Amino acid sequence: MAQVLEFKLPDLGEGLTEAVIVTWLVQVGEVVAIDQPVVEVETAKAMVEVPCPYGGVVTARFGEEGTELPVGAPLLTVAVGEATTVPEAEGSGNVLVGYGTGTPPARRRRIRNAAPDRANSTADRSAVTTKAPPTAHARVPAPHPVTESPVPVISPLVRRLARDNGLDLRQLEGSGPEGLILRADVEDALRAHAARVTARTAPEPVGTRTPLKGIRGAVADKLSRSRREIPDATCWVDADATELMRARTAMNAAAGPKISLLALLARICTAALARHPELNSYVDVEAREIVRLDHVHLGFAAQTDRGLVVPVVKDAHTRDAEALTAEFARLTEAAHAGSLTPAELTGGTFTLNNYGVFGVDGSTPIINHPEAAMLGVGRIVPKPWVHEGELAIRQVVQLSLTFDHRVCDGGTAGGFLRYVADCVENPAVLLRTL
User: Beta strands 373-377 and 350-353: pairing type?
Assistant: parallel
pTM of this prediction exceeds 0.85: no
Does residue 14 or residue 181 have the better pLDDT?
Answer: 181
- For the segment 152-181, the average pLDDT, to the nearest whole number, is 79
Q: Which of 330, 325, 369 is nearest to 346 (CA)?
A: 369
334, 347, 324: which is closest to 265 by C-alpha? Answer: 324
* Average pLDDT rounded to a whole number, residues 57-70: 92
3-class SS at 390? strand
Asked whether residue 181 carries a pLDDT value surpassing 60, the answer given is yes
Q: Tell me, what amino acid is at 239? A: A
Would you say residue 126 has pLDDT above 70? no
Say yes or no: 357 and 411 in one domain.
yes
Of the residues 188, 315, 320, 409, which is catalytic?
409
What is the band of 160 on the pLDDT scale with cuts at 50, 70, 90? confident
Active site residue 232: no
What is the rounded (10 degree) CA torsion for 120, 123, 128, 130? 40
Residues 6+ apart with CB under 8 A from 169: 151, 153, 158, 159, 162, 181, 186
pLDDT at 203: 59
Distance CA 158, CA 168 (A): 12
**Is residue 288 located within the same domain as residue 428?**
yes
Same domain, 142 and 114: no
The predicted pLDDT at position 377 comes to: 96
301 and 275 together in one domain: yes
Establish if 212 belongs to a structural domain: no
Residue 129 has what pLDDT? Answer: 37
- Mean pLDDT computed over 197-217: 74
Pick from 51-60, 98-107, 374-383: least confident: 98-107
Distance from CA of residue 204 to its chain's centroid? Answer: 35
Q: pLDDT at residue 95 above 50?
A: no
Residues 294 and 411 in one domain: yes
Residue 101 has pLDDT above 80, yes or no: no
Residue that finishes a domain, picked among 150, 183, 201: 201
Residues with Cβ < 8 Å from 329, sequence gap 6 or more?
260
The CATH number of whichever domain residue 240 belongs to comes to 3.30.559.10
Q: What is the pLDDT of residue 288?
A: 94
Is the pLDDT assigned to residue 282 strictly greater than 80?
yes
299 is a domain residue = yes
Same domain, 189 and 337: no
Say whether both 31 and 180 belong to one domain.
no
Residue 261 reports pLDDT greater than 70: yes
Note down the domain range covering 324.
Answer: 232-433
Average of per-residue pLDDT across 43-67: 88
For residues 105-129, average pLDDT: 38
Whether residue 144 is predicted with pLDDT greater than 70 in this model: the reply is no
| Residue 20 sits in the same domain as residue 118 | yes
Inside any domain, residue 331: yes
- pLDDT average, residue stretch 8-19: 80
The answer to whether residue 145 scores a pLDDT higher than 60 is: no
Angstrom distance (rounded) from CA 336 to CA 118:
32
List pLDDT tens digits, range 225-251: 999 999 999 999 999 999 999 999 999
Q: What CATH number is given to the structural domain containing 12?
A: 2.40.50.100
Per-chain mean pLDDT for the chain: 82
Determine what percent of the chain is predicted with pLDDT higher than 90: 52
H helix count then E strand count, the chain: 9, 19
Q: Are residues 363 and 394 in the same domain?
A: yes
Among 84, 100, 127, the domain-final residue is 127
Burial classification of residue 255, based on how many CB atoms lie within 10 Å of its CB (0-12 exposed, 13-18 middle, 19 or more buried): exposed
Q: Is residue 246 part of a domain?
A: yes
Q: Is residue 332 part of a domain?
A: yes
| 247 shares its domain with 188 | no
* Total count of residues recorded for the chain: 434
Count structural domains, the chain: 3
**Within a domain: 219:** no
- CATH code for the domain in which residue 182 is found: 4.10.320.10
d(CA 356, CA 335): 19
User: Which position has the higher pLDDT, 124 or 341?
Assistant: 341
**Is 405 tagged catalytic?**
yes
| Domain presence at residue 164 | yes
154 and 118 in one domain?
A: no
pLDDT in tens, 341-394: 989 999 999 999 999 989 999 988 899 999 999 999 999 999 999 999 999 999
Using the 3D structure, point to which of 156, 181, 201 is the last residue of a domain: 201
Catalytic residue, candidates 221, 295, 387, 405: 405
Is the domain of 295 the same as that of 160? no
Residue 208 lies in a domain: no
Answer whether 361's CB lies under 8 Å from 379's CB: yes
Q: Which of residues 384 and 176 earns the better pLDDT score?
A: 384
